């Protein structure tokens, strides 16, 4: 099926749920008006990124009015969006929710919470425990949140779980201004998104935010990657943008005929060897 | 040297965006800065003018009676080429009034007092015009502690604090800072003929090459020696960095409660912005 994905490269305000809801709703309406079928937002789109002690204050339950509102909007367009989720036992997660036809189809809780360099996530948030693909009207999808994608096993698991589309919601800080043309962190990500798509013969929709928080810039550059690993659409660097990418549904089928790596992938060997490694690790 | 060479186009875009975004977030449209006639404040003026529009940048040149007249001339040159607001405010009466009472102060105390006097004037004018004070200390100076705490090191936001002096030179050239400002010897202009490099005992280029490897690349002392840095130079610079660390931190607070400001009461400064 051919469809259009919109990558809403927005600039959330730190800790301002209402303002960010308004931003999200505006982008959703824009997507609907433009004929998009799916709109993807960045990581923590409803809250901003360097939340620190704000985490509990901006957290939403899955039955909160905000999520209900997004559910309603998803009757008109499918939505993937990042927010802080609070569980019934008061754990706080860096989560992404996928909404379609008025329902929550999936919630992914970020597994790999970075705590090195400028990152401080696990100090404030609890870790997700699973990677699961889920069914949508665009076929099976897997969601990742930023750092998740840097762990080779994460997209691999999702692909083995049948995902043919990977959605990565991101708040990637710009760093590494060198003599080269682009930004260090952007160049690394571009390598990562295209390589992941190529290895797994999956489409990749990468949505990264923009703006500044305490002087740290988020570089944008959201991307749609074809299952061949070819980048088809890219958002502006360092500026708000709204990327509309037309997805050629047949390209995935053709790619999987040309390069049947996923077909040939041997899950049994992988599981066997991983189990052995795990067993021998403590020896 | 590879690591210190920067893509000035991208750097300019990030720093201009930073000034615009962080100033507007506070709810004001203006920037205030001290123009010394030197390259660092000239570069910040160029960045601010591009970010906020020249009419929203207020620059103040604050000479003391012993200041080199060339400094004021260069500050004026920068202001005129940008079309920003420019005013000269002499600090001689305030400084002399103080040191008439404290006559035995040495050069360092006098220099620090002048730097702090200038910063009080900038903050006063930031309230008067409704703008934020833009910092003009670069990464080299900040790491070496070559600046006055609550003086030139103070600011509401600093666009050049993460770029080394060598990168300041490169970006200034790319942004069109007048060549006479770029080419002159760096000086705090504390007394006639003073230059930073003479006072520090090494050049900024040398310091940058070392600091970049030490701080950014986290090379060990052994690795630094292996790539050709002199051990005494490494130790001298490392001592300066460590010894001035207090200048780069907020004042420490004695902890007695469960949530102490900055230690476990933690919010980004852009909280709600």
Out of B6, B14, B266, name the one closest to residue A174 (CB): B14
- Tokens 């690795």 correspond to B223
Residues recorded for chain A: 283
pLDDT for B189: 86
pLDDT for B192: 80
- Angstrom CA distances, A82 to A5, A182, A188, stand at 16, 26, 22
Query: Which of chain B's residues have a Cβ under 8 Å away from the Cβ of A182?
Result: 7, 10
Residues B6, B170: Cα–Cα separation, whole Å:
8
pLDDT for A182: 79
Nearest of B175, B235, B153, B154 to residue B202 by alpha carbon: B235
B1, B18, B267, B269: best mutation site toward chain A, by most A Cβ within 10 Å? B267
Residue B154 DSSP one-character state: -
Q: Is residue B39 annotated as involved in ligand binding? A: yes
**Which helix (H) or strand (E) is B39 found in, with range?**
helix B39-52
Q: What is the pLDDT along chain A (283 residues), one digit of tens a residue?
A: 999 999 999 999 999 999 999 999 999 999 999 999 999 999 999 999 999 999 999 999 999 999 999 999 999 999 999 999 999 999 999 999 999 999 999 999 999 999 999 999 999 999 999 999 999 999 999 999 999 999 999 999 999 999 999 999 999 999 888 888 778 889 999 999 999 999 999 999 999 999 999 999 999 999 999 999 999 999 999 999 999 999 999 999 999 999 999 999 999 999 999 999 999 987 6
Q: Does B3 touch chain A (CB under 8 A)?
A: yes
Collapsed DSSP state (helix, strand, coil) of residue B104: coil
Q: Under 8 Å CB-to-CB from A228, ≥6 apart: which residues?
A: A197, A198, A251, A255
Out of B11, B21, B22, name the one closest to residue A177 (CB): B11
Nearest of A17, A216, A12, A191 to residue A120 by alpha carbon: A216
Collapsed DSSP state (helix, strand, coil) of residue B37: coil
The two three-digit tokens of residue B72, written as one number? 């004021």
CA dihedral A60, A63, A65, A66 (to 10 degrees): 50
Interhelix angle for A17-33 vs A65-73, to 10°? 0
Compute the nearest-CA separation of A57 from chain B (Å). 12
Asked if B204 contacts B166 with a C-beta cutoff of 8 angstroms, the reply is: yes
Query: Which of chain A's residues have a Cβ under 8 Å away from the Cβ of B271?
Result: 14-15, 54
For chain B, the C-alpha Rg in angstroms (whole number) is 19
The two three-digit tokens of residue A118, written as one number? 């400028």
Low-confidence stretches of chain B (pLDDT beneath 50): 1
pLDDT for A184: 87
The two three-digit tokens of residue B172, written as one number? 């200034």
Is A180 in Cβ contact with B266 (below 8 Å)? no
Q: What is the 3-state secondary structure (H, E, C) of chain A?
A: CCEEEEEEECCCCCCCHHHHHHHHHHHHHHHHHCCCCEEECCCCCCCCCCCHHHHHHHCECCCCHHHHHHHHHCCCCEEEEEEEEECCCCCEEEEEEEEECCEEEEEEECCCCCCCCCCCHHHHCECCCCCCCEEEECEEEEEEEHHHHHCCHHHHHHHHCCCCEEEEEECCECCCECCCCCEHHHHHHHHHHHHHHHHHCCEEEEEECEEEECCEEEEECCEEECCCCCEEEECCECCCEEEEEEECHHHHHHHHHHCCHHHHCCHHHHHHHHHHHHHHHCC
Residues A251, B147: Cα–Cα separation, whole Å:
60
Residues A182, B96: Cα–Cα separation, whole Å:
51
Output phi, psi for A200, to 5 deg. Answer: -105, 0
Residues A183, A58: Cα–Cα separation, whole Å:
31
pTM for the structure as a whole: 0.94
Strand partners for A86:
A92
Q: What angle do CA A279, A148, A242 make, to 5 degrees?
A: 165
Compute the nearest-CA separation of B21 from chain A (Å). 7
pLDDT for B2: 56
The two three-digit tokens of residue A132, written as one number? 């699961």
Q: Would you tell me how many other CB atoms lie within 10 Å of the CB of residue B210?
A: 21
Asked if B208 contacts B6 with a C-beta cutoff of 8 angstroms, the reply is: no
Q: Is residue B37 annotated as involved in ligand binding? A: yes
Query: Which of chain B's residues have a Cβ under 8 Å away from the Cβ of A173?
Result: none
In chain B, the residue whose alpha carbon lies closest to the alpha carbon of A117 is: B216
Residue B213 DSSP one-character state: I
Is B5 in Cβ contact with A179 (below 8 Å)? yes
Nearest of B54, B62, B46, B57 to residue B12 by alpha carbon: B46
The two three-digit tokens of residue B148, written as one number? 């006055």
- Tokens 């993460």 correspond to B162
pLDDT for B1: 43
Asked if A174 contacts A149 with a C-beta cutoff of 8 angstroms, the reply is: no
Compute the nearest-CA separation of A272 from chain B (Å). 40
Q: Is residue B36 annotated as involved in ligand binding? A: yes
Nearest of B182, B248, B188 to residue B215 by alpha carbon: B248
Asked if A213 contacts B268 with a C-beta cutoff of 8 angstroms, the reply is: yes
Query: Which of chain A's residues have a Cβ under 8 Å away from the Cβ of B22?
Result: 212, 215
Asked if A101 contacts A77 with a C-beta cutoff of 8 angstroms, the reply is: no
């Amino acid at each position: 099926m051919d469809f259009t994905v919109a990558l809403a490269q927005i600039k959330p305000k730190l800790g301002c749920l209402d303002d960010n809801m308004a931003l999200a709703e505006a982008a959703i309406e824009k997507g609907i008006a433009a004929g998009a079928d799916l709109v993807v937002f960045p990581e923590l789109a409803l809250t901003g990124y360097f939340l620190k002690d704000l985490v509990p204050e901006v957290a939403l339950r899955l039955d909160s009015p905000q999520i209900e509102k997004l559910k309603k909007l998803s009757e008109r367009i499918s939505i993937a969006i990042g927010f802080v989720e609070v569980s019934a036992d008061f754990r706080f997660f860096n989560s992404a929710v996928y909404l379609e036809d008025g329902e929550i189809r999936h919630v992914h809780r970020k597994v790999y919470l970075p705590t090195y360099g400028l990152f401080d996530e696990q100090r404030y948030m609890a870790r997700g425990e699973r990677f699961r693909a889920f069914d949508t009207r665009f076929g099976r999808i897997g969601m990742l949140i930023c750092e998740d994608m840097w762990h080779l096993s994460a997209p691999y698991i999702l692909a083995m779980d049948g995902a043919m589309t990977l959605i990565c919601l991101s708040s990637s800080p710009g760093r590494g201004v060198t003599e080269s043309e682009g930004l260090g962190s952007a160049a690394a990500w571009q390598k990562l998104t295209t390589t992941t798509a190529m290895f797994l013969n999956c489409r990749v929709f990468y949505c990264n935010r923009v703006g500044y928080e305490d002087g740290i810039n988020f570089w944008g550059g959201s991307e749609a990657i074809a299952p061949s690993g070819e980048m088809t659409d890219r958002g502006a660097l360092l500026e708000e943008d709204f990327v509309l990418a037309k997805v050629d549904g047949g390209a995935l089928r053709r790619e999987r005929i040309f390069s049947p790596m996923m077909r040939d992938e041997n899950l049994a060997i992988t599981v066997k060897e991983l189990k052995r490694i795990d067993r021998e690790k403590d020896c | 040297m590879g690591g210190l060479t920067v893509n000035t186009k991208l750097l300019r875009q990030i720093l201009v965006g930073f000034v615009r975004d962080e100033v507007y977030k506070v709810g004001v449209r203006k920037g205030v800065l001290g123009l010394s006639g030197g390259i660092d404040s000239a570069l910040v003026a160029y960045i601010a003018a591009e970010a906020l529009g020249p009419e929203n940048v207020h620059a103040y040149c604050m000479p003391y009676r012993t200041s080199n007249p060339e400094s004021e001339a260069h500050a004026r040159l920068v202001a005129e080429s940008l079309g920003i607001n420019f005013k000269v405010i002499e600090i001689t009466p305030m400084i002399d009034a103080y040191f008439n009472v404290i006559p035995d102060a040495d050069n360092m105390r006098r220099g620090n007092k002048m730097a702090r006097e200038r910063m009080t004037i900038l903050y006063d004018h930031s309230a008067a015009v409704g703008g934020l004070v833009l910092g003009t200390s670069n990464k080299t100076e900040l790491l070496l502690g070559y600046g006055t705490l609550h003086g030139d090191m103070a600011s509401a936001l600093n666009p050049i604090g993460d770029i080394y002096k060598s990168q300041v030179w490169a970006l200034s050239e790319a942004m069109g800072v007048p060549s006479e400002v770029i080419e002159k010897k760096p000086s705090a202009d504390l007394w006639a003929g003073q230059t930073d490099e003479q006072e520090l005992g090494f050049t900024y280029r040398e310091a940058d090459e070392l600091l970049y490897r030490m701080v950014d690349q986290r090379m060990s002392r052994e690795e630094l020696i292996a790539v050709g840095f002199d051990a005494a130079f490494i130790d001298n610079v490392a001592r300066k960095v460590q010894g001035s660390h207090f200048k780069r931190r907020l004042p420490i607070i004695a902890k007695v409660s469960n949530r102490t400001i900055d230690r476990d009461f933690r919010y980004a400064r852009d909280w709600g912005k």
